[in-house]
Structure 1
Amino acid sequence: MKPTIVLVPGMWHGGWAWDRVAALLEADGHPCVPVTFPGRGRAPGDETFAGHCAHLTRVLADVPGDVVLVGHSYGGAVLTEAGDAPGVRAMVFVSAFCLEPGESVASVNDAQAGSEAGVDDIREVGDHLVIDPDTARAAFYHDCDPADAARAAERLTPEHVSTRTTVVSRAAWRAVPSHFVVCTADRACTPDVQRKLASRTGSWSELAASHSPMLSMPAALAGAITGFAKEATA
């Protein structure tokens, strides 16, 4: 039986972001579990970074057999903290924050100029971070079909401030075989930043995609995931 693929979204997104990739993976025989983290307008529960890590731990505990864990963008920080759960055989970081202990999404993404979804592009509203639809379309979806980009931007929900600023205490990718998918046309997490993060995993590939290859290049991304899943679980 092929491993189950657990799909973790980026900031402001839900499991819906993975719909196209999940359909392709399931057609290839991989059961899929798209994750939606607690958050305003998404799901009840603890919406902080710690709450998201605890949520992922609970999800993984309910998945039988081998798991390949895939994280997009912010989801990589959650994988870094909580990804080495029992049963996880491999992890794939998709333009994701593969962090060292003491780093956060903010500390890495804001350390180098060029991001169009950095600290100056996000609004802080109380305890939440909001990204405006026009900013999201330009930063996340510029190579997507315009209708897809508009629909995705409309579905984004506020994220708790801690998701961006909490530093990780562990590096689960050191204990689990991991692969990094660099998106070379990314405007949210620059390719230079991604390549530095990718060098930590020792295994990486590149897609000529924006920050959202799950929408713009789902078949290519699914192929990258299944290719590494086969290699890591052989």
Structure 2
Amino acid sequence: MSTAPTIVLVHGMWHGGWAWERVATLLHEDGYRSVPVTLPGEDRAPGDPTFPGHCDHLAGVQAGIPGDVVLVGHSYSGALLGEVGDAPNVRGLVFVSAFCLEPGESVASVNDAAAGSQAGVNDIRQVGDHLVIDPAVARHAFYHDCSPADAASAAARLTPEHTSTRSTIVSRAAWRTVPSHFVVCTLDRACTPRVQRMMAARVDSTSELEASHSPMLSMPAVVADEITGFARKVCG
């Protein structure tokens, strides 16, 4: 009998590993070890807060895990999965309303090219070298199917993000060689379902949830099932 892979959970812009806490608990109950990553950033974790710094951080996390890994990325961190997700021990990639990018694209170029995002370039403030999203905008764009208490709590924990996270053009596409699954969130106001389906068509398999941009908060059990189902498929 094969050993279950370690599930590495990577958060989106402005968030932290805390966004995956509920899913991580459920994965543990199902027999999976998980590692919720907190990427470097202001008021978040030490280290290089830029896109290359995030890639290096995630590569270091992967390298420190013995055995098989399934990487799960939410939103922005899909771009990281594409850059460093083909490490030798990575068996699969899961994109949860995440940016599954072709080389030459960036989070900004894809999300701003199509109308409809309510967390796009016109909804974000730049303060120095960082991007800030106001709590009211976040509650509306990210958490509208969460309880009011959960939405308020999550919005209050958001931290500034370095501008490079949104603007860096990626150079690699690990999803071309690593088995990958895309979870489309059909009620998403931040990354529209149309944009998600365009990216989902690039990978091996896809599923759809009637969820906002943050299903790990609003329906963690369903997200956990999506992850473990794919992990069993790719790892046996």
Aligned-partner residue type, residue 26 of structure 1: H
Q: Deviations over 1:78-101 (max 9, x none)?
A: 101111112000000000000000
Unaligned runs of 5+ in 1: none
Moved over 3 A (4+): none
Aligned to 1:7: 9
Pairing of 1:1-234 with structure 2 (within 5 A): 1-234=3-236
**Cα distance in 2, alignment partners of residues 158 and 127 from structure 1:** 9
Aligned-partner residue type, residue 146 of structure 2: C
**Cα distance in 2, alignment partners of residues 227 and 205 from structure 1:** 11
**Cα distance in 1, alignment partners of residues 169 and 84 from structure 2:** 13
SS of 1:7's equivalent? Answer: strand
Aligned-partner residue type, residue 173 of structure 2: A
SS of 1:18's equivalent? Answer: helix
**Cα distance in 1, alignment partners of residues 158 and 88 from structure 2:** 31
Q: Deviations over 1:176-203 (max 9, x none)?
A: 0000000000000000000000000030
**Cα distance in 1, alignment partners of residues 175 and 198 from structure 2:** 15
**Cα distance in 1, alignment partners of residues 177 and 50 from structure 2:** 25
Identity over aligned residues, as a percent? 74
**Cα distance in 1, alignment partners of residues 224 and 73 from structure 2:** 13
Aligned-partner residue type, residue 30 of structure 1: Y
Q: Give the deviation of 1:143 after TM superposition.
A: 0.2
**Cα distance in 2, alignment partners of residues 228 and 61 from structure 1:** 22
* TM-score (structure 1 length as normaliser): 0.99
Unaligned runs of 5+ in 2: none
Asked whether the equivalents of residues 179 and 204 of structure 2 are also in contact (C-alpha less than 8 Å), the reply is: no
Aligned-partner residue type, residue 115 of structure 2: A
Number of aligned residue pairs: 234
SS of 1:84's equivalent? Answer: coil
